[in-house]
Amino acid sequence: MEIESKIKEVLDRIRPYLQSDGGDVIFKKYENGVVYVKLTGACSDCPLVDNTLESGIEEAILNEVPEVIKVVNED
């Protein structure tokens, strides 16, 4: 599961930024090119959650893990 390890490394680098705003991200699973995460804390009900997911988390993962095609927030 080397892909999952790479994904978790990227999330660990992003995590301090989310935590500084009172939020966090939890890795749920990787399946068929899609990463499933759960945004928690302030991120779970933030009006900018889609922006955080796409411009922050998804972009960071796509840049470093080419096998990933999309990141989805699971409630």
Name the domain count of the chain: 1
Q: How many CB atoms lie within 10 A of CB 8?
A: 14
CB 43 within 8 A of CB 21: yes
Report the predicted TM-score, pTM, of the whole model to 2 decimal places.
Answer: 0.90
Domain of 43, CATH number, reads: 3.30.300.130
pLDDT tens by residue, the chain, 75 residues: 699 999 999 999 999 999 998 999 999 999 999 999 999 998 888 787 888 778 889 999 999 999 999 999 987
pLDDT value at position 38? 94
Could you tell me the residue range of the domain that residue 14 belongs to? 2-73
What Rg value do the Cα atoms of the chain yield, rounded? 11
